[in-house]
Amino acid sequence: MSRRVEHGLFWLAVVALLVAHMFGVSQGERPLLCGWVPLDLAYRIGWITAAAALVFWMTGRLWPDNE
């Protein structure tokens, strides 16, 4: 994959995370996941995991080698 394409995918993922952060989910009357995990908590854990993966991708693959 070329560096330009990878940078474009990175910024697309950043925008997707920002949108997902702005328009989160609320529990409301929904049942619990697996019988004990509130939907809002599962959403936040998933969002944090995706954000951490994005940071690792950025520092491992996209960070300039000369710094």
Average pLDDT, the chain: 87
DSSP class of residue 61 equals: I
Proportion of the chain above pLDDT 70, given as a percent: 96
pTM: 0.79
Whether the per-residue pLDDT at 36 is higher than 80: the answer is yes
Residues 43, 23 contacting (CB under 8 angstroms): no
